Amino acid sequence: MDASERIAGAHEHMDLAAGYRWIYAIIRDDTREVKIGISTDPLRRLEQIQQHHGSGLRLALVMVGGRDEERKAHAKFRDSHLVGEWFRLSPEIEKWIIKSQKRMRHVHEQFPDFNNIPSRQAERRFMGYLDEINGRMEDA
């Protein structure tokens, strides 16, 4: 199963309209460029970008995160920056995508009903858990 299939499967378990922001990475295979951005609906965002850039785009990563995480990613990969939110797909960005995919897979294993979080208390518990595993993954 490739990354696109894993992400498509994960989307079946996520309620993208639940008010969460998602960091996404969309790869343009023909030019080896990647767009790192945030959206409340990454699948719709992919469709919008495809209308402008045509086919050959794939959603390589979707993970929980907001503007701060997006800024950190942009700063981390500034040496690969092209224009706007587009970057050259460097080995460092590829490693970040793979590591982030593993992190989100772990979240879904621990929170299988992620899309059905019923209360703010449960949401805070989930976000605390996400912060904890993010810290562990950064230490690894």
* 129/132 Cα distance (integer angstroms): 5
Q: Where are the domains of the chain?
A: 3-139
Exposure string (b/e) for 94-129, b if CB count within 10 Å is 16 or more? Answer: eebbeebbebbeebeeebeebbebeeeeeeeebeee
pLDDT digits over 44-72, tens only? 888 899 888 877 888 888 887 888 889 99
- Give the span between the Cα atoms of 113 and 115, in whole angstroms: 5
Reported confidence tier of residue 90, pLDDT bands at 50, 70, 90: very high
Give the model's pLDDT for residue 88.
97
Does the global pTM surpass 0.75? no
Residue-level pLDDT at 43: 82
With beta carbons less than 8 A apart as the criterion, state whether 64 and 107 touch: yes
